[in-house]
Amino acid sequence: MGWYADDIERIIVSEEQIKERTKELAEQVAADYADRDGVLLVGVLKGAVMFMADFARAFPLPTELEFMAVSSYGQAATSSGVVRILKDLDRDIADKHVIVCEDIVDSGLTLSWLLRYLASRGAASIEVVAFLRKPDAVKVDVPVKYVGFDIPNEFVVGYGLDYAERYRELPFVGVLKPEVYSR
């Protein structure tokens, strides 16, 4: 765990579990999209970067990759509910079969906003693959067809997920020790 060994209280999803579940998810999604001609994966930066890279490589159908960057958490551990576009799509998505790649659905506020936005851009179909979901934290109901793991309502870091921009590079998902927040 390098620099962060002392900051992690416990591991929620191990590196092994990530690998196994990502492969399963990719195969499940591909089975549903086998008859479409092409899929556009839209990764939501920055959190989804690790998951999207692993998912895309395990996904056995032709894909194109697009990225959006939005932020609703900033430096905080709870969502502000205000979603800002930091980076928009680079291209037209009209008539594309879009699969949104998210690292986590927490309150659902980010995704709910994003799904409306992508629909307004004319996608042919839109589904979501989210690596993590917190069923007890949801504030708005969003249709998430594919979920890697349902996890408890605790703030987690690693595998793309940050606390104040740190810990994204950890290869697993873990919970921080409470004292980290009071530093």
Ligand X SMILES: O=P(O)(O)OC[C@H]1O[C@H](OP(=O)(O)OP(=O)(O)O)[C@H](O)[C@@H]1O
User: In whole angstroms, what is the distance from residue 30 CA to residue 10 CA?
Assistant: 33
Q: What is the DSSP string of 139-163?
A: SS-----EEEEE--SS-EEBTTB-B
Is 110 a binding residue for ligand X by CB under 6 A? The answer is yes
Does residue 115 contact residue 142 with C-beta atoms inside 8 Å?
yes
Active site residue 106: yes
User: In whole angstroms, what is the distance from residue 155 CA to residue 177 CA?
Assistant: 10
| Binds ligand X (CB under 6 A): choice among 12, 50, 79, 144 | 79
Q: Which is nearer to ligand HPA, 104 or 129 (CB)?
A: 104
By the criterion CB under 6 A, which residues form the site for ligand HPA?
73, 104, 106, 155-157, 161-162
Q: Convert residues 152-171 into a mask of x (bound to ligand X by CB under 6 A) and - (unbound).
A: ----------x---------
Tokens 């980290």, residue? 180
Using CB under 5 A as the criterion, which residues of the chain lie in contact with Mg ion when the complex forms?
Answer: 73, 162
Annotated catalytic residues are 106
